[in-house]
Structure 1
Amino acid sequence: MPPLEAADDRLQQAMNTVLLAALPGLLALFWLYGWGVLINLLLAVISALLVEAAVANLRRQAVQPALRNGSALVSAMLLAVALPAYCPWWLTVTATVSGLLFGKHLYGGVGRNPFNPAMLGFALSMVLFPQAMTHWPGHGLDFPSALQQVFNPAPAPDAWAQATALDSLRINKSLTIDELFASNPAFGRFGGRGVEWVNLAFLLGGLWLLQRRIFSWHAPVGMLASLFLISLLCWNGSGSDSHGSPLFHLLSGATMLGAFFIVTEPVSGAKSALARLLFGIGVGLLTYLIRTWGGYPDGVAFAVLLMNLLVPTLERFAASRHLPVST
């Protein structure tokens, strides 16, 4: 088998394994939010495949290999689960198209992107459409109502739309943590209501990927350890000025999705073991800083993009320590 075909096969196998590992998290999100998650996923996948086919045609390349390698499907999956369920259809399409065009194909395609395409699409949507990006449902809808909400959205009742646990904690000024957990429906036992189980499901899939050696432990452990440590050091109990416990931060937002499915992206992430560890540590620290003092409730996407900029510096630092590249 020619080297390029062998590399394509390895990439396709790795991407298929990542998609399979994400299945527990997808099922947990479907249990929590209902049909909106699957509609997001379908819209993102269709948009991603159309972008891949269009770019391949423009470059006079074969379309089938571009559609088969699976990298676009992984980006579509990440965006589908990161975007609010029941967001307008155009938001999912815009995020997917912009992420793939400006995050991957602008730099030459697979293997050349300096930024994580899914997180770039998410961040652009957060900056351009902040209101739509913070419109999270309080519960799922039946399928006809879900289609109505996505393709012909009407103003949602306050009882249906609600702030996330991270957002509620960030804007809290008067209630203690115990009062927040007792009175706000966005909070569960340890983190966001239902989101705790979603994070545990993505953790399960991530551990399976580690067992399959799809990636090394350095970036995920670095991110989770640094997020745990800084949240522990900054935690001041249950006071109204508390920023949340370490367990709250680990089981809220996109923490486990970020640790196992985003910071492990092989192209835009670091290559050497030390650089991967530092990359993960930086993502964890920046995630906490953005969640706590920034303008966005969950900082995983912006933290990853900022650390993408530092990858060359991290690699030079690792090389100066004469450490081997981790496979």
Structure 2
Amino acid sequence: MSALETFDHQQQAMKRVLLATGPGVLVLFWFYGWGVLINLILAGACAWIVEASICRLRRRQLGLPSGDLSGLVSATLLALALPPYCPWWLCLAAVASALLLGKHLYGGNRNPFNPAMLGYALMLVLFPQPMTHWPAPHGMELLASLQQVLGIQGDAPDAWSQATALDTLRINKSLTMDELFANNPAFGHIAGKSSEWVNLAFLAGGVFLLQQRVFSWHAPVGMLASLFVISLLCWNGSGSDSHGAPLFHLLTGATMLGAFFIVTEPVSGAKNPRARLLFGIGVGLLIYLIRTWGSYADGVAFAVLMMNLAVPALERLAEPKPQAVDG
């Protein structure tokens, strides 16, 4: 396969990834309203400006490997991970840092870290308050949404923001799981009130990508299986010290977005199928450890970045060992 054919194949795969985010975008919009679309527009515009500027500096035509759709994909995934109605500058800073520090700093197509997760983690460390300021599941009018994003004084709805299910569970000391699900508005049927539907939507998009063979099953199955197993082993029922049931962890936070759209990123991830499986297993284990005993409620971004560091070791570990020849 020629270089041009390989590039065209990669572009087609990126288009399928963007298409597969559709169900998740629709469900997010249903619960949170215009803030989701504003994030996507800001992120897409910022990605185009950054990619075009880098291509101009390198005197390359936009559309060659330094300016392909991978930048737009990273910006889209980052926009979906950011809180709806976050300040406009936060979205732009996240995308710009993701593409500049996570992609183009290493030449554009050899980045060791997942760009979207690098941008997200950097913003979470630098600006923890707006990054953890999630709205309650309700929509806002377009004008009010723009006022909120732009920082213009406007009247937000009552109980506009609330702690997520993962935040609530992490700080819970006295209420049982049954009481949380019965009385806390952040909890739905088996997970977070909105996140369970959002995760199912991204699961549907992920199944589509698997059916289209955009990536192999190894990394997403490894991540989901390890998260399920460790949460099952550590699950201690519905008491006040419970860390959540396996289904709670699978359908809360950014689990399915991470499993099918983040750990499958081809450049920063492992290449060997066995290494991909080990990569996914490691991400799933780290997500649970960070959610349960770490300082951050979700942990997908940090888990992916830490496993990015382990990719070379995983590749060596997955290599078939030469068999001794009897002389």
Which TM-score tier does this pair reach, normalised by the shorter chain?
Answer: over 0.9
Residue 117 (structure 1) aligned to one of 115, 118, 128: 115
Q: Is the 8 A contact 1:186 1:193 kept in 2?
A: yes
Q: Is the 8 A contact 1:227 1:246 kept in 2?
A: yes
Deviations 1:276-300 (A, max 9, x none): 0000000000000001110111110
User: Aligned runs of 1:217-228 on 2, under 5 Å?
Assistant: 217-228=217-228
Q: Please report how far the alpha carbon of residue 68 of structure 1 lies from its aligned counterpart in structure 2 after TM superposition.
A: 6.4
Aligned to 2:126: 128
How many residues are matched? Answer: 321
Identify which range, 188-197 or 55-64, moves more after superposition.
55-64
Task: Say whether 1:54 aligns with 2:53.
Answer: yes
Q: Please report how far the alpha carbon of residue 65 of structure 1 lies from its aligned counterpart in structure 2 after TM superposition.
A: 3.1
Q: Please report how far the alpha carbon of residue 8 of structure 1 lies from its aligned counterpart in structure 2 after TM superposition.
A: 1.7
Q: Please report how far the alpha carbon of residue 195 of structure 1 lies from its aligned counterpart in structure 2 after TM superposition.
A: 1.1
Identify which range, 274-283 or 157-166, moves more after superposition.
157-166
What SS does the corresponding residue of 1:161 show, helix, strand or coil? Answer: coil
Mark the runs of 5 or more structure 2 residues left unpaired by the alignment. 323-327
Query: Residue 229 of structure 1 aligns to which amino acid in structure 2?
Result: V
Q: Please report how far the alpha carbon of residue 168 of structure 1 lies from its aligned counterpart in structure 2 after TM superposition.
A: 0.6
Change (3 A) 1:153 1:219: farther
Q: Is the 8 A contact 2:55 2:67 kept in 1?
A: no
Deviations 1:157-198 (A, max 9, x none): 771111111011001111100111111111100111021111
Measure the CA separation in 2 of the matches of 1:226 and 1:317: 19
Q: Is the 8 A contact 1:12 1:68 kept in 2?
A: no
Measure the CA separation in 1 of the matches of 2:221 and 2:292: 21
Deviations 1:46-99 (A, max 9, x none): 001100001111111112436863111110110111000000000000000000
Q: Is the 8 A contact 1:12 1:70 kept in 2?
A: yes
Q: Is the 8 A contact 1:52 1:66 kept in 2?
A: no
Measure the CA separation in 2 of the matches of 1:226 and 1:131: 30
Aligned to 2:151: 152
Q: Is the 8 A contact 2:270 2:311 kept in 1?
A: yes
Q: Is the 8 A contact 2:176 2:239 kept in 1?
A: yes
Task: Say whether 1:7 aligns with 2:13.
Answer: no
Q: Is the 8 A contact 1:196 1:251 kept in 2?
A: yes
Change (3 A) 1:66 1:51: farther
Aligned to 1:141: 140
Q: Please report how far the alpha carbon of residue 153 of structure 1 lies from its aligned counterpart in structure 2 after TM superposition.
A: 4.9
Change (3 A) 1:292 1:158: farther
Report sequence identity in percent: 70
Mark the runs of 5 or more structure 1 residues left unpaired by the alignment. 323-327
Kindly report structure 1 stretches of 4+ aligned residues shifted beyond 6 Å. Answer: none
Q: Please report how far the alpha carbon of residue 3 of structure 1 lies from its aligned counterpart in structure 2 after TM superposition.
A: 2.3
Aligned to 2:87: 88
Aligned to 2:288: 288
Task: Say whether 1:257 aligns with 2:285.
Answer: no
Measure the CA separation in 1 of the matches of 2:267 and 2:108: 11
Q: Please report how far the alpha carbon of residue 309 of structure 1 lies from its aligned counterpart in structure 2 after TM superposition.
A: 0.2
What SS does the corresponding residue of 2:197 show, helix, strand or coil? Answer: helix
Aligned to 1:242: 242
